Amino acid sequence: MSPAAQKNAPAKNSTTQNAPARSARAPRSAPKSTQRTARAPRNAPRSVPAPGAPAPLAPGGLRVMPLGGLGEIGRNMTVFEHADKLLVVDCGVLFPEDHQPGVDVILPDFTPIRDRLDDIVAIVLTHGHEDHIGGVPYLLKERADIPLIGSELTLAFITAKLKEHRITPSTVHVEAGDRRTAGPFDLEFVAVNHSIPDGLAVAIRTSAGMVLHTGDFKMDQFPLDGRITDLRAFARLGEEGVDLFLTDSTNAEVPGFTVSERDLTPAIDQVFATAPRRVIVSSFASHVHRIQQVLDAAHAHGRKVAFVGRSMVRNMGIARDLGYLTIPRGLVVDAKKLEQMPDEKVTLVCTGSQGEPLAALSRMANGEHQIEVGDGDTVLLASSLIPGNENAIYGVINKLTDRGVRVVHKGNAKVHVSGHASAGELVYCYNIVRPRNVMPVHGEAKHLRANADLAIRTGVPAEGTVVARDGDVIDLVDGRARLAGHVPAELVYVDGETIGRATEGVLAERRQLKDGGVVTVLAILDPETNALAEPPEYLTRGFVSDGRLLKGATAEITTALARTAPGTDDIGKLESVIAGAVARHLGRALRREPVVIAVVVDA
């Protein structure tokens, strides 16, 4: 949503009538609604260009604008500008934290490119994870025919997602080793290994120099599909000269090397070897190789497998159809068919490994799923534990344990390995590529800083190591990467049916509601004196006190009205006075304020 559109939101949100002057029967007067809007500017324009807006790009230069992923793990999006054209690499979503209640997902801020959508020559998608493709539907809603460039599986995943949004994209299928031009950008794609198949790094050649963007990657030397991160290509590009190297920072703080996916095989096999009854596996619906391992183990132990949950069924169907998942004949059956089989022959593969309340696993743990789990069943959480999800996941584990289920997870068995390069791998990359400039991407502040420190330790000059944040504008001119200014890069919240309308102010209100609840005060006032005509009524939700507190508030209202209200005709002001008096009174007693909404009606 543009700032202009947002400006209109408050008026739309409030359907207050414009009543005539104040009377006994028309309890609202015009000034009040003005007051109220002034009091709660919930949908004020979110972002104006920072004072540090960049100067025009030097002729022949390359501009890099990270709009997401630099300062958080998610909503990855980088915009490259050259010769008046724009190239987008990735467009993902970020999942909200607890202090962002009610938010569904968070998008990159499209503001800096919204007036230049026609200049975009393509969106390159490095791989099919939500934090790299989840924002594409929202960008395509603004211009539907932007070509999407990606590998086969990546395009299949984004196409399936876009179908739900009723968008048919224009796609360009590329493979590792391919070279393509998109406007003034000369693109070369390089295989990288990650926790989803078919990942690509992209080298972007322009007359300003060469950029190499790793996407998300690690350097598993024995991946299940044999498709390793192509360090020979990295070396060749390094020989040619990489002017700016954008590298995945997620695990830059983790010392050493990420172990191989194959190292999980014994622990996964052990689960199947020892499970007396059903095995229920939960993992990400995109983790094709992890699921492959589960399928192989189930097959080896004579079990059948059913996929449970919409996204798991859909993605595994795509992966199988395209040949990324190898399913022995007869191994996978319909969940319904599995019900008739003996428990020791059953494997279920479902979503919910992050404790998502609506996913199959949580519903099984709560006894709300048609699949009833119990004594002797084994649940395998073959997945990571994303920070912030711990309590939800532990809650699911505890509930399953209470049902007699044995739960195997990364805390008690070697059943997960990260998809990102650890510090040791990153150092190899820096030494192989020997870039002139480095810009860490994909990480919070601490990850970006740690990654930059690794680059510097390998000999990248500190002045060429740019620790940027979303919205920073970096220009590559004469072989040097320099901060050129800033553009807006706010967090754009998708909230219910709205995009960008849930502002920080709205979230602050929700946090206040969460901690203290809401108190609605109905105050009947004498229109002559503006004094309480009768005791106010308090309607509360999510609020507790010992009762005397609210009675005490009435005295505060009386005092506040006597001090400030006589003579005014402004109901908005009266409501503000009442709400303020109640809020202060409660805040003093409770050490936190509930949200107080006052409604004034004339007696």
Residues belonging to the active site: 248, 420
- Sheet containing 185-192, strands listed edge to edge, beginning at the edge strand earlier in sequence: 179-182, 185-192, 199-206, 209-213, 244-248, 437-441
Evaluate whether 582 touches 519 at the Cβ level (below 8 Å): yes
Contacts for 399 with CB less than 8 Å, ≥ 6 apart: 365, 366
The reply to whether 515 sits in an annotated binding site is no
C-alpha distances (whole Å) from 250 to each of 217, 302, 328, 443 are 10, 38, 35, 5
The reply to whether 285 sits in an annotated binding site is yes
Residue 462 Cβ, how far from a copy of itself at the closest point, in Å? 13
One character per residue 126-165, x = contact with a copy of itself (rule: CB under 8 A): ----------------------------------------
Alpha-helical (H) ranges within 471-547 are 504-516
Contacts for 232 with CB less than 8 Å, ≥ 6 apart: none
Distance CA 94, CA 160 (A): 20
- Where in 305-344 is the site for a copy of itself (CB under 8 A)? none
**From candidates 186, 314, 394, 558, binder to a copy of itself by CB under 8 A:** 394
**From candidates 11, 48, 117, 273, binder to a copy of itself by CB under 8 A:** 11
| Helix 571-590 vs helix 548-564: crossing angle, to nearest 10 | 140
Lookup result for tokens 């996204």: 311
**What torsion do the CA atoms of 95, 101, 104, 107 make, to the nearest 10 degrees?**
-60
Distance CA 309, CA 202 (A): 33
Nearer to a copy of itself, 193 or 353 (CB): 353
- Where in 511-530 is the site for a copy of itself (CB under 8 A)? 511-518, 520, 522, 524
**From candidates 2, 7, 23, 26, binder to a copy of itself by CB under 8 A:** 26
Nearer to a copy of itself, 300 or 358 (CB): 358
* Burial of 323 per CB tally in 10 Å (0-12, 13-18, 19+): exposed
Contacts for 396 with CB less than 8 Å, ≥ 6 apart: 352, 355, 361, 362, 365
**From candidates 402, 459, 462, 567, binder to a copy of itself by CB under 8 A:** 402
The reply to whether 420 sits in an annotated binding site is yes
**From candidates 38, 273, 544, 562, binder to a copy of itself by CB under 8 A:** 544
Lookup result for tokens 């493709």: 133
Evaluate whether 510 touches 502 at the Cβ level (below 8 Å): no
**From candidates 22, 29, 42, 248, binder to a copy of itself by CB under 8 A:** 42
**From candidates 163, 173, 541, 563, binder to a copy of itself by CB under 8 A:** 541
The reply to whether 417 sits in an annotated binding site is yes
| 36 contributes a contact to a copy of itself by CB under 8 A | yes
The reply to whether 287 sits in an annotated binding site is yes
Part of the chain binding a copy of itself (CB under 8 A), chosen from 115-123, 207-215, 332-340, 494-502: 494-502
Distance CA 514, CA 527 (A): 35
Residue 591 Cβ, how far from a copy of itself at the closest point, in Å? 7
The reply to whether 194 sits in an annotated binding site is yes
Distance CA 387, CA 488 (A): 27
- Sheet containing 279-282, strands listed edge to edge, beginning at the edge strand earlier in sequence: 304-308, 346-350, 279-282, 378-381, 406-408
Nearer to a copy of itself, 159 or 389 (CB): 389
| 43 contributes a contact to a copy of itself by CB under 8 A | yes
Nearer to a copy of itself, 55 or 546 (CB): 546
**From candidates 256, 479, 535, 566, binder to a copy of itself by CB under 8 A:** 535
Binding-site size for a copy of itself (CB under 8 A) equals 92
Both tokens assigned to 257: 């090397």
Nearer to a copy of itself, 268 or 595 (CB): 595
| 534 contributes a contact to a copy of itself by CB under 8 A | yes
Residue 147 Cβ, how far from a copy of itself at the closest point, in Å? 31
Contacts for 318 with CB less than 8 Å, ≥ 6 apart: 153, 156, 157, 160
| 215 contributes a contact to a copy of itself by CB under 8 A | no
Nearer to a copy of itself, 477 or 589 (CB): 589
Rounded CA Rg of the chain: 29
As a three-state string, the secondary structure of 252-297 is CCCCCCCCCHHHHHHHHHHHHHHCCCCEEEECCCCCHHHHHHHHHH
| 241 contributes a contact to a copy of itself by CB under 8 A | no
Q: What's the gap between Cα 379 and its chain centre?
A: 27
**From candidates 181, 326, 398, 529, binder to a copy of itself by CB under 8 A:** 398
- Where in 89-118 is the site for a copy of itself (CB under 8 A)? 97-99, 101-102
Residue 150 Cβ, how far from a copy of itself at the closest point, in Å? 30
**From candidates 12, 166, 329, 336, binder to a copy of itself by CB under 8 A:** 12
| 547 contributes a contact to a copy of itself by CB under 8 A | yes
What's the one-letter identity of residue 56?
A: P
The reply to whether 131 sits in an annotated binding site is yes
Distance CA 47, CA 215 (A): 28
| 52 contributes a contact to a copy of itself by CB under 8 A | no
One character per residue 354-383, x = contact with a copy of itself (rule: CB under 8 A): ------------------------------
Residue ranges of the binding site: 102, 104, 127, 129, 131-132, 194, 216, 285-287, 416-420, 442, 495
In the annotated binding site for Ca(2+), the residues are 102, 104, 495
Q: Name the binding residues for substrate.
A: 285-287, 416-420
